[in-house]
Each structure stands twice: as C-alpha cells, then as structure tokens.
Amino acid sequence: MMFLKQYFVDLLNTYRIGKSVYSDAYFKRTAQLSVLENLKKPRRTTIINHLITVVNAQNYLEIGVRDPGKNFNRIQCKNKFSVDPGIEFEDNPVDFKMTSDTFFKKLNNDELEIKSNIKFDVIFIDGLHISDQVEKDILNSLNFIDDDGFIILHDCNPPSEYHQRETYNFMYSPARNFWNGTTWKALYKFRHANGLYSICFDCDWGVGVISKKQYPGFNTLKGDIENKFYEFSVLNEHRAQHLNLQSFENWITLLKD
Ligand SMILES: C[S@@+](CC[C@H](N)C(=O)[O-])C[C@H]1O[C@@H](n2cnc3c(N)ncnc32)[C@H](O)[C@@H]1O
C-alpha cells in the first residue's frame, strides 16, 4: 500500500514539475530564440562555398565532420581533407580519424599523407565546441592557413546563455538539444589579436571568419578585452560589436564594391 502511495506521489510531482518547467518564461523565450535562429539564412555550406570562390581555394580542411552529407560532401573545392575522431557518427568516413590536436601534431611532424608545408585556403573549425579547444584549433590553423585564406568557426553566436552551456549532453536546459558551446569566447578573444581580422555572419548559429588579410567588413577589436570575465550578459548587450555581427548578403555587396 505504502509503495503504491509513493508511486502516485512521484507521478504527481513529475507532472507538476514538468508542467511548471514547460510553461516557464525562460523555456518559452529560449524555444522562440531557437526557432528564430533556425530560420536565418544562408547556412554554413553556402558561406563556405562562397569563401572558397573568393580565394579560388585549392585546399579545404574540415575539423569536426560528423555526417559528411550535411556539409563536407557539399563543399566544392579541388582538394578536401577531413578530421574527426568519430565521437558522434559511428561510420566516420573521414581522411584522418583522430582529434584535431593529434592531426596537427602529426602534420607538424610529417607523419601524415599530406606534408607539413601544405597551406589550406579555407579551414572550417567545427569540432569540440569548448573555447579552450577552439583556441587550440585556431592557433594550429594559423600555422597552415594561406595568407589570403579564411579560418571559419561554426556556432559563434549563441542566442541565449543556455545555448552556450558547456555541457552538450544536458538536454533539459531551455535550449534543449541546441548547443553552441563556448566557441564565441575563442572568436571574441582572437578578435583582439594584432594582425588578424574577423567577422561573424549572423546566420546558422553564427559563422565566424578569421583572416590574416583585412577583407572589406573584417575588423579587429582595439585595446583591452572589455568582457574580462567572458560573461554571456555582456556578449548579449554588445554582440554586434564584440562579434562584428554582419549580414552575409550585405557583406557580399560590400565585397563587390
Ligand atoms: C558539430 S559536429 C560537426 C558538424 C559538421 N561540421 C557539419 O557542418 O555538419 C562536431 C564533430 O566534431 C567532432 N569532434 C569532437 N571532438 C573533436 C576533436 N577534439 N577534434 C576533432 N573533431 C572533434 C565530433 O566527433 C563531431 O563529429
């Protein structure tokens, strides 16, 4: 009898908590933000393919591929290379089945089929979305990117603090399964680097681009880091400036002028 009573108490509590969470204002607002972000165009693939034409790219590298049908296979470039340890997609049909750290270490030591003097024209960093790892991926990429080339970062513009949580696997935040991770922090940091220029296209969860060359619309943040503690609320208030958030369509027009 006690057992049955406890069962119904648990059931009632599950319903009450579930209902209050589901109707919570943060949940509703965040769900709206996810819908709005998903509606933005173009997607990363269009942007990458366009940047490939801008520099007449011969060598493309993608770090973090998952299902290649979603992006990698749609990239139009003469030579394409892919790196992924195969955490999220069992088949993992990539060239280099390893983490980006191992890939760059082996590339540096000439332990791969491609040689250490290779220059990539476009590198798409879309592996582990934790700022510390993204920073390493950017630093390594800078050694192998052509002087005119583009380093592209996915997921740089989290719509809410929940989208930029550190733990991907926690699906019960208001952002549910949508996840930017903390990639934005790496972009924001590198936006202060001398000799680097950047922009973030306001679509597909934020497509950040870093280059050694100052393309139209690309800029650098001068002076000390304003958002010293990398707080989401500060990003949210200043995201246009801190990320150099631009519409891709406007940027194409700027490039043509
Ligand atoms: C967001 S998915 C990539 C999506 C893909 N680029 C696209 O545009 O559809 C992230 C991928 O990064 C991979 N990954 C995780 N940690 C990594 C690491 N340290 N180095 C390289 N790839 C990593 C995962 O296995 C996963 O397949």
- Could you tell me if the CB of 63 is within 6 A of ligand 1? yes
Q: How many helices (H) and strands (E) does the chain have?
A: 8, 7
The span from the CA of 257 to the CA of 251, in Å, is 10
Q: For residue 8, give its domain range.
A: 1-39
Q: Which among 45, 84, 153, 179 is the best mutation to test ligand 1's pocket, defined by most ligand atoms within 8 Å of the CB?
A: 84
Q: Which residue, among 80, 66, 140, 150, has the nearest Cα to 108 in the 3D structure? A: 140
Centre of ligand 1 from the C-alpha of residue 193, in Å: 25
Alpha carbon separation from 201 to 20, 61, 114 (Å, rounded): 36, 20, 31
Give the model's pLDDT for residue 121. Answer: 98
Cβ–ligand 1 contact at 134 (below 6 Å): no
Do 29 and 127 share a structural domain?
Answer: no
> SS3 for 22-66, per residue?
HCCHHHHHHHHHHHHHHHCCCCHHHHHHHHHHHCCCCEEEEECCC
Strands (E), the chain: 59-63, 79-83, 120-125, 145-153, 197-201, 207-211, 245-246
185 lines ligand 1 (CB under 6 A): no
Residue nearest to atom 14 of ligand 1 (CA): 127
What is the number of structural domains in the chain? Answer: 2
For residues 81 and 202, membership in a common domain is answered with yes
Tokens linked to 104: 């760059």
- The pLDDT-based confidence of 12 (bands split at 50, 70, 90) is very high
Q: Residue 3 — very low, low, confident or very high, per pLDDT cuts 50/70/90?
A: confident
132 lines ligand 1 (CB under 6 A): no
Task: Please compute the mean of the pLDDT values over residues 225-245 and round it to a whole number.
Answer: 98
116 and 6 both lie in a single domain: no
**Residues 35 and 47 occupy one common structural domain:** no
What pLDDT score was predicted for residue 40? 98
The answer on 159 and 121 residing in a single domain is: yes
CA 46 – CA 74 distance, rounded (Å): 9
Q: Whose CA is nearest to atom 6 of ligand 1?
A: 65
Ligand 1 centroid to Cα of residue 128, in Å, is 6
User: Which pLDDT band, with edges at 50, 70 and 90, does 183 fall under?
Assistant: very high
**Ligand 1 center–CA 69 separation, angstroms:** 13
In this predicted structure, the answer to whether residue 22 has a pLDDT above a threshold of 90 is no
87: Cβ below 6 Å to ligand 1? yes
206 and 124 in a common domain: yes
Are the beta carbons of 59 and 77 closer than 8 angstroms? yes
Joined together, the tokens standing for residue 230 give 């990398």
- For ligand 1, atom 19, which residue shows the shortest CA distance? 99
Q: What is the pLDDT of residues 72-103, one digit of tens each?
A: 999 999 999 999 999 999 999 999 999 999 99
pLDDT in tens, 121-171: 999 999 999 999 999 999 999 999 999 999 999 999 999 999 999 999 999
* Contact yes or no for 232/158 (Cβ under 8 A): yes
Are 107 and 32 part of one and the same domain?
no
The CATH number for 152's domain is 3.40.50.150
- CA–centroid distance, residue 126 to ligand 1 (Å): 5
Same domain (yes/no): 35, 147: no
68 Cβ below 6 A of ligand 1 = no
* Residues written for the chain: 257
- In this predicted structure, the answer to whether residue 1 has a pLDDT above a threshold of 80 is no
Q: CA–CA separation, 256 vs 251, rounded Å? A: 9
**95 & 217 share domain:** yes
Two structure tokens written together for 121: 């024209």
Asked whether residue 58 falls in the same domain as residue 128, the answer is yes
Task: Answer whether 19's CB lies under 8 Å from 180's CB.
Answer: no
| pLDDT band, very low/low/confident/very high, at 257 (cuts 50, 70, 90) | confident
Burial label, 140 (beta-carbon count in 10 A; 0-12, 13-18, 19+): buried
Q: Which residues partner with 80 through β-bridges? A: 60
Structure tokens at 77: 């470039």
Q: What average pLDDT does range 98-110 have in this prediction?
A: 98
